[in-house]
Amino acid sequence: MLKDPELATFVTEPQVNYWLGPDAHAVNYVLRGGELFNIVLLVPDDIPKGQNITEGNVEEMRALYKDWDPRIPKLLSLCESVYKWRLCIRPGMEQWSHPSGAFTMLGDAVHATLPYLASGAGMSLEDGAVLGELFSRARGKLSPAKKRRLLDIYQKIRAPRTEMVVQRGNLQQYLYHLHDGSEQQERDRVMRANEPGDALAWKDKEFAPGLLGWCCEEEVDKYWPIFDSHEKGEGRALCLSVSN
């Protein structure tokens, strides 16, 4: 890559690059400080039923992108092997935690999302941060009832946000893969003008702040009084019982 002036800038001037086209798009970026270069190609799949990952055909891959930006065929000419990886839309789990309060789930286990918003791993980290914040604030020994209440609050905090990310990921797929026409032209106009509704969500002035600026501690602060008031109520009931 570095020997080709047209490709070298992908490494020497690193950034995330997108190409959008009918029913397909491509993304590339460097990893590990420029040691690795990753390119992801997204097209309708023909993977046999029952398989999620299978070995692909390099020539088929090159043919799919032969009429795109000439740099993409150049990049693909350097590839020696390729794998196909099926992307699936899965309904979210209605209940994230076991009724006993003994365990809960997070991340893709309960709210799997398409990768088009690049937020799946981030949602898992936020889930973990909220769980940690909730349990670190709980006082004393955690009874099964307390655990259930904490896990219920955990889902109340997280579910609306993760559902928003899942739905926006689905929308990203639609926006990226528009066919040529008036809707595609309007998408491109908004992107060039940096107006609200940008197909690149991280540039959308109305959407990006909420996606990137969500604070786990602040969200727990909003819901903590629910748990705290219940705990104080339990304490008063216990005192009355003892005095009797």
Residue 235 has pLDDT above 80, yes or no: no
Q: How confident is the model at residue 200 (pLDDT cuts 50, 70, 90)?
A: very high
CB contact at 8 A, 68 and 21: yes
CA-to-CA distance for 132 and 144, rounded, in angstroms? 17
- pTM (two decimals): 0.85
Name the residue ranges covered by the structural domains of the chain.
5-85, 108-177+214-243
> What residues contact 133, with CB distance under 8 A and at least 6 apart?
216, 217, 220
DSSP state of 3: T
Residue 168 has pLDDT above 70, yes or no: yes
Per-residue pLDDT at 236: 39
Encode pLDDT of 176-198 as tens digits. 999 999 999 999 999 999 999 99
Q: Residue 150 CA to chain centroid, in angstroms?
A: 24
